[in-house]
């Protein structure tokens, strides 16, 4: 029974480690993309610099969240939750565009400019697109299905881990109580007075 508990805990903790690795990889690749863009001699001004600075902060946060989740597992889930929620929407309306992903994406949504349903997929990849008052950008509303899947896996794994730990603690406590009561019964039995049987011969 104990081995069964440990096996379930190990499986779910491996999922959390996998999510942590995904977040770390996504953060590193995101910073790599930004550095690559800067080395290409892209024209920068205060506006572009602030966007790059914001994106770098996001990818550093992704790395830190991934490390915390990988090292502390169910105790390090808080920042990973926030990170995944940030990645769910992809939107461009009224000249404002927001897309931030780390570690992969599967965008499904509707492009209002073209009047069509769109899909965009990237594995072990990061993507950022932030524009303010840019009329050249088409309008769309997307949902990052991958972020939703990762969030569901995160929540389910943590829930199962906590449930299994509680069941295991109850099982071990009941076994300990049973063992103690059994030892107590054996002790009382050994302390019963013996009645000598008279020899009738």
Residue 178 forms part of a structural domain:
no
Does residue 139 register a pLDDT over 60?
A: yes
**Highest averaged pLDDT of the listed ranges 75-89, 124-138, 165-179:** 75-89
Tens of pLDDT, residues 171-190: 667 776 667 666 666 666 66
Residue 56 forms part of a structural domain:
yes
Residue 78 forms part of a structural domain:
yes
Residue 182 forms part of a structural domain:
no
Residue 180 forms part of a structural domain:
no
pLDDT band at 195 (very low <50, low <70, confident <90, very high): low
pLDDT band at 47 (very low <50, low <70, confident <90, very high): confident
Residue 175 forms part of a structural domain:
no
Could you tell me how far CA 22 lies from the centroid of its own chain?
Answer: 9
Provide mean pLDDT across the span 90-110.
Answer: 92
pLDDT of residue 163: 86
Q: Supply the mean pLDDT for the chain.
A: 85
Cβ atoms 113, 139 nearer than 8 A: yes
Residue 132 forms part of a structural domain:
yes
Residue 164 forms part of a structural domain:
no
pLDDT of residue 201: 47
φ, ψ of residue 53 in degrees (nearest 5): -65, -40
Q: Which domain holds residue 25?
A: 2-159
- What total number of domains does the chain contain? 1
Cβ atoms 109, 93 nearer than 8 A: no
d(CA 150, CA 81): 9
Greater confidence (55 vs 5) lies with 55
Element (H, E) at 151: helix 145-190
Q: Which of 1-5, 38-42, 190-194 has the lowest mean pLDDT?
A: 190-194
The b/e string for 15-42 (b: 16+ C-beta within 10 A; e otherwise) is bbeebbbbbbbbbbbbbebbeeeeeeee
Greater confidence (173 vs 82) lies with 82
């Amino acid at each position: 029974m104990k081995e069964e508990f440990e096996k379930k805990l190990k499986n779910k903790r491996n999922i959390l480690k996998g999510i942590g690795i995904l977040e770390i990889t996504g953060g590193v690749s995101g910073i790599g993309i930004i550095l690559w863009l800067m080395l290409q001699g892209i024209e920068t001004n205060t506006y572009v610099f602030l966007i790059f600075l914001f994106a770098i902060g996001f990818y550093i946060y992704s790395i830190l969240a991934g490390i915390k989740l990988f090292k502390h597992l169910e105790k390090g889930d808080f920042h990973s939750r926030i990170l995944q929620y940030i990645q769910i929407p992809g939107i461009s309306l009224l000249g404002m565009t927001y897309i931030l992903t780390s570690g992969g994406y599967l965008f499904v949504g509707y492009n209002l400019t073209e009047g069509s349903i769109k899909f965009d997929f990237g594995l072990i990849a990061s993507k950022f697109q932030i524009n303010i008052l840019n009329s050249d950008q088409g309008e769309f509303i997307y949902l990052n299905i991958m972020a939703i899947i990762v969030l569901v896996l995160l929540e389910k794994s943590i829930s199962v881990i906590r449930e299994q730990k509680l069941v295991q603690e109850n099982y071990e406590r009941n076994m300990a109580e049973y063992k103690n009561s059994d030892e107590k019964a054996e002790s009382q039995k050994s302390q019963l007075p013996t009645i000598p049987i008279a020899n009738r011969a």
